Amino acid sequence: MFTYTINENGLTVEELLRTKWRLGKKIVHELRMAKAVTISDEPILWKEPLDKGTKIQFAFDVPASNYEPTTECNVVIRYEDEHCLIVSKPKGMATHPNSPDDKNTCMNHVMRHILNNGGHYVEHVHRLDQGTNGLLLVAKHPIAKSIFDRMIEEKTIIRTYAAEVQGNIRTDSGTIREAIGKDRHHNTRRVVSPTGQHAVTHYEVVNRYKGTCVVHVVLETGRTHQIRVHMAHLGHPIVGDTMYGARETSSGDYALHAIQLAFEHPFLNESVVVKDQ
């Protein structure tokens, strides 16, 4: 299904899977039982040191994802290789279905792209709010999903957003460390709460205007509505974000854009930086 090139002398398959990729015991066991790892289609000893440059093959059964495909894929693919793709999700489109009736989400469109190219598995690694547009990372096989999920947890996938906020933030940069929880009085709203989940947002002011400023924001955690809640907590809600106290705009919308994804690719052993236009 895919080939991986060993990039250091003496690395074993066991070390690659357990130490470097840190796959779960279940996945490693399944790969071993299926004899899924080979060299030139020959079985391999998992604890045998391999030379740098050795190409090993992975071939295993991949389950089919259950997103119903759209007729056409109408989302832009910004990056793609055999392990993942990065799509530009439009504003107003949900990341994934929340009910059987949701058939026009970003993942439904991505499923059409995958099927058109001979695949049948695709799962999002993180999500974007419906009102947020921009870059979304999607895994194309279960091993990639497992590794990218861990990278999100360990904050080694750097997600950068741009937002225009009300007023002018006094400091040019800063970090917001405020836990976020559900609003007991509103089903979908979130609030800063000492009993909420740990949340960290880094921001930098990149442009200042008369009554607003533009900030670039890097998420260290990925809580629901995190940027919206944290900027409102600073007293500078995102322009148009009426749910969090901003004035309504003529479009009735707010502007939050996932503009960049950056990470060290675990399969290609190279840096990937993708920007949205």
Is 241 a residue of the active site? Answer: no
Q: Is the pLDDT of residue 44 over 90?
A: no
**Does one domain contain both 185 and 252?**
yes
Q: What percent of the chain has pLDDT over 70?
A: 100
Q: What is the mean pLDDT of residues 153-173?
A: 94
Question: Domain limits at 235?
Answer: 159-258
Q: Are strands 55-58 and 180-182 parallel, antiparallel or unpaired?
A: unpaired
Give yes or no: residues 54 and 91 share one domain: no
Beta bridge partners of 164: 214
Mean pLDDT of all residues in 98-118: 94
Give residue-wise pLDDT tens across range 216-273: 999 988 898 999 999 999 999 999 999 999 988 878 788 899 999 999 999 999 999 9
Inside any domain, residue 65: no
Query: Considering the domain boundaries, does residue 70 fall inside one?
Result: no
- How much is the pTM? 0.90
| Domain presence at residue 64 | no
**99 or 218, which is more confident?**
218
Distance CA(206)–CA(129), nearest Å, equals 23
The predicted structure's pLDDT at residue 1: 81
pLDDT in tens, 178-203: 999 999 888 889 999 999 999 999 99
Task: Write down the pLDDT at residue 105.
Answer: 96
Distance in angstroms (rounded) separating the CA atoms of residues 244 and 180: 13
Question: Do residue 142 and residue 100 come from a single domain?
Answer: yes
pLDDT at residue number 83: 96
Of 163, 142, 152, the closest CA to residue 231 belongs to 163
Q: In this structure, are 237 and 186 located in the same domain?
A: yes
- Work out the percent of the chain whose per-residue pLDDT is above 90: 80
Number of domains in the chain: 3
Residue 266 included in any domain: no
Same domain, residue pair 204 and 250: yes
Indicate the residue among 94, 127, 154 that finishes a domain. 154
Asked if residue 90 is part of any domain, the answer here is yes
Per-residue pLDDT of 125-160, as tens digits, reads 999 988 899 999 999 999 999 999 999 989 899 999
Q: What are the φ and ψ backbone dihedral angles of 148, each rounded to 5 degrees?
A: -65, -35
Residues 205 and 250 in one domain: yes
Conformational region of residue 13, where left means phi above 0, alpha means psi within -120 to 50, and beta covers everything else = alpha
For residues 129 and 256, the answer to whether their CB atoms sit within 8 Å is yes
User: Are 175 and 97 part of one and the same domain?
Assistant: no
pLDDT of residue 40: 87
Q: What's 13's domain CATH number?
A: 3.10.290
Which pLDDT band, with edges at 50, 70 and 90, does 41 fall under?
confident
> What mean pLDDT value characterizes the chain?
93
Domain end call among 58, 86, 105: 58
170 and 230 housed in the same domain: yes
Residue 147 lies in a domain: yes
DSSP output for the chain: -EEEE--STTB-HHHIIIIIS---HHHHHHHHHTT-EEETTEE--TTS-B-TT-EEEE----PPP-PPPPSS--SEEEEE-SSEEEEEEPTT--SS-SSTT--SSHHHHHHHHHHHTT----EESS---TT-EEEEEEESSHHHHHHHHHHHHTT-SEEEEEEEEES--SSSEEEEE--EEE-TT-SS-EEE-TTSB--EEEEEEEEE-SSEEEEEEEESS--TTHHHHHHHHTT-PBTT-GGGTPPPPTTS---EEEEEEEEE-TTT-SEEEEE--
Find residue 124's DSSP bridge partners. 138
Instruction: Examine the pLDDT at 277 and tell me if it is beyond 80.
Output: no
Catalytic one of 129, 172, 241, 276: 129
- Domain-embedded: residue 275: no
Q: Same structural domain for residues 251 and 194?
A: yes
pLDDT at 100: 85
247 and 215, same structural domain? yes
Residues 251 and 179 both lie in one domain: yes
Check whether residue 147 and residue 91 sit in a common domain: yes
Whichever domain contains 222, its CATH number is: 3.30.2350.10
